[in-house]
């Protein structure tokens, strides 16, 4: 079932854990109701470079706003969006993982303004259309086809052994929801992520839920365990991430637990970088987490394109 994985210690650690977790009467047995597995999305389940997919979607929206309103063109994040300044946008995330949220606040301010008063249904339709049509800028495939095949296989393997899988991401919950079932087999109700404030707007057709220009929750770092508990009501036993922002979630995984840290070290097939993951790699060494090397542990990175 893990056919896209090489026969390496990382793959064996996964198989050993699952086999022990399902062995009734064994010392490491985990009852089915407690088999909760949580995974970050950007950089863990699909590609996040040269910027997270969501940022590419937001970039398009902000650039459209700047074209309509010249006064925005000298202000961030509209300036970066209009000029396609990927370095600034990518640096926002890297600075966040190093503890500097000054640019994150600037970016979030623009994002909240760009979708304020839009209905959740309209937003979902726009996000789905973007993911189905927009090309990745360097990989030569659609964004929707940038999920990591080995991780999708891991989701199926866990589910086949009685685990319930969730996405727990710093990315926008409503951006992911339209496609997570198709891409990962994870339905919308099992997607936990960042979210803007919402309000109900009544009308003659039954009303709609619309976004407000304020943040509800930024689901990263210490907020991930909080959101896991508030949404699931259980401590996970399997957790997967790839960055410093995933450390609290990985540490929150119960015992016996399986903690997976995806290492981007394959410049030929994807990207090679550790920026924003330095602390998590140190933690993995200190606490004996399973580090998954894209170069060494994955025989294949991406599945064939859906339209190919």
CATH, residue 185:
3.40.50.1000
3-state helix, strand, coil in the chain (%, to 5): 45, 20, 35
Structural domain includes residue 14:
yes
pTM: 0.92
pLDDT > 70 fraction of the chain, expressed in percent and rounded: 99
Note the pLDDT tens digit of each residue in 238-280.
Answer: 999 999 999 999 999 988 899 999 999 999 999 999 999 999 9
Same-domain check for residues 248 and 101: no
Same-domain check for residues 153 and 260: yes
- Average pLDDT on 207-213 reads 95
Confidence (pLDDT) at 89: 73
Regarding beta strands 238-241 and 258-265, do their DSSP bridges make them parallel or antiparallel, or are they unpaired? parallel
Same-domain check for residues 21 and 38: yes
Q: What angle do CA 195, 130, 54 make, to 5 degrees?
A: 40
- CA-based radius of gyration for the chain: 20
Same-domain check for residues 71 and 202: no
- Give yes or no for a contact between 122 and 201, defined as CB atoms under 8 angstroms apart: no
What 8-state DSSP symbol labels residue 304?
A: P
Per-chain mean pLDDT for the chain: 93
The position carrying tokens 């407000």 is 212
- In total, the chain counts a number of residues equal to 308
Same-domain check for residues 114 and 151: no
Please determine, for residue 105, whether its predicted confidence score (pLDDT) is greater than 90. Answer: no
Q: Which of 68, 99, 133 is the last residue of a domain?
A: 133
Strand partners, 260: 240, 290
Structural domain includes residue 248:
yes
- Give yes or no for a contact between 271 and 300, defined as CB atoms under 8 angstroms apart: no
Q: Which of 133, 162, 179 is the last residue of a domain?
A: 133
Q: How far apart are CA 239 and CA 163, in angstroms?
A: 12
The position carrying tokens 């190919």 is 308
The 3-state DSSP class for residue 279 equals: helix
Residue 49 — very low, low, confident or very high, per pLDDT cuts 50/70/90? very high
Structural domain includes residue 4:
no
User: Between 173-184 and 53-68, two packed helices, what is the crossing angle to 10 degrees?
Assistant: 140
Same-domain check for residues 154 and 42: yes
Residue 307 — very low, low, confident or very high, per pLDDT cuts 50/70/90? low
Please determine, for residue 308, whether its predicted confidence score (pLDDT) is greater than 70. Answer: no
- Average pLDDT on 102-125 reads 88
How many domains does the chain fold into? 2
Domain that holds residue 122: 53-133
Same-domain check for residues 244 and 189: yes
- Average pLDDT on 1-24 reads 97
What are the C-alpha distances in Å from 206 to residues 119, 120, 124, 200, 201? Answer: 13, 14, 19, 10, 9
């Amino acid at each position: 079932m893990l056919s896209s994985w090489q026969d390496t210690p990382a793959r064996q650690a996964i198989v050993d854990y699952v086999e022990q977790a399902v062995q009734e009467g064994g010392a490491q047995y985990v009852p089915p109701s407690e088999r909760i597995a949580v995974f970050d999305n950007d950089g863990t389940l699909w590609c996040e470079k040269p910027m997270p997919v969501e940022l590419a979607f937001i970039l398009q929206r902000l650039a459209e706003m700047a074209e309509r309103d010249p006064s925005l063109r000298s202000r961030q994040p509209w300036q970066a969006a209009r000029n396609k300044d990927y370095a600034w946008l990518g640096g926002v995330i890297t600075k966040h993982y190093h503890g500097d949220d000054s640019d994150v606040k600037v970016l979030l301010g623009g994002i909240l303004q760009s979708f304020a008063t839009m209905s959740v249904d309209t937003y979902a339709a726009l996000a789905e259309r973007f993911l189905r049509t927009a090309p990745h800028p360097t990989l030569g495939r659609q964004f929707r086809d940038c999920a990591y095949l080995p991780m999708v296989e891991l989701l199926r393997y866990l589910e086949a052994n009685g685990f319930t899988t969730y996405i727990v991401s710093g990315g926008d919950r409503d951006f992911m929801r339209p496609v997570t079932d198709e891409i990962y087999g994870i339905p919308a109700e099992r997607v936990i992520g960042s979210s803007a404030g919402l309000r109900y707007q009544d009308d003659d057709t039954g009303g709609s839920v619309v976004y407000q220009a304020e943040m509800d929750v930024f689901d990263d770092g210490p907020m991930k365990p909080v959101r896991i508990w508030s949404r699931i009501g259980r401590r996970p036993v399997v957790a997967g991430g790839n960055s410093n922002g995933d450390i609290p979630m990985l540490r929150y995984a119960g015992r016996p637990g399986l903690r997976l840290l995806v290492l981007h070290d394959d410049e030929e097939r994807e990207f090679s970088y550790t920026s924003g993951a330095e602390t998590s790699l140190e933690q993995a060494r200190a606490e004996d987490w399973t580090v998954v090397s894209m170069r060494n542990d994955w025989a294949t990175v991406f599945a064939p394109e859906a339209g190919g």
